[in-house]
Structure 1
Amino acid sequence: MMLETVAAVPGMVAGVLLHCKSLRQFEHSGGWIKALLEEAENERMHLMTFMEVAKPKWYDRALVITVQGVFFNAYFLGYLFSPRFAHRFTGYLEEEAIYSYTEFLKELDAGRIENVPAPAIAVDYWRLPQDATLRDVVVVVRADEAHHRDVNHFASDIHYQGHELKDSPAPLGYH
């Protein structure tokens, strides 16, 4: 759950900064604003889903506020300094998320975590069957994380090549 509160920050920060740049320079973003804000929303839905499963306590929420506040500001400054680094860093965070969800699946498959019914929010958002389980949710969330990894490494590669994101069409419509 904590990972998802942090994971929702990069797409929002990058999307807002690109939005402001687009407004200042009177130019299109090549779809990158939409792609990055869509990523942030998708990560938020991961959090909303796992909150239904984990039922966080007040101290969990306090920790989220602290961690998110620090990470948001650090990432904002990092993105201003080097979008290339920020996207690469996010790509690596997403790789860690994929690993974590793979381990989660192993725990579910081994029976060490109960494979409860999927929360209604997950069934609606990912259009899962009504009898979907937590395992089904983890599989689609892990696929989302793989997409976020690829998008962010792609964005970093664009910057590494000396180009701007607007010059390469953003990968849209994965959900």
Structure 2
Amino acid sequence: MLPRSAPSDDLEDRGEAAVETLLTEVGERLEDAVRTYTRTGDERSRLDLAAGWTGIRLDLVDAGDELVVVADVPGYERDDLTVRLEGETLTISGDRSRGEPGAESVRDRTPPAYLRRERTARSFARRVRLPEPVAADDATASLDDGVLTVRLPKYASTMEPTEIDID
């Protein structure tokens, strides 16, 4: 079996990212429709499980004076992530490059012949419609051990898109 060429890998990664983004958007819309008709208290979607969706999982919590979003983003560093608030929609996106340590042979600097490759570059975008307006200027985000926490104080209307720095 011949090793795959780098351009082919890049094209495949871009294709996978585009399909995953599309599936995420379709899944979110289906989830919203299903939740409208069935309120069970468990926000984990059976549609996600049935579709084999592998995007990030998150919780949206009403903590009284603020909304808190807690998302699992294992393997992503602070600089790989973007948190953006536009109106009442929060978008969490990530892009992890493929440059893992040990990806080249030290002796001749040629790409390795992978026997199995599952840890490729990954990107995602997850949008969450917030149930009420929040104060974008007072929003904070932090990343700790692969868990992203976004705190959004309530009651201010945000009309301009705002990026939220991750501490």
**TM-score normalised by length of structure 1:** 0.25
Using CA pairs below 8 Å that are at least 6 residues apart, which structure has the higher relative contact order? 1
Larger radius of gyration: 2
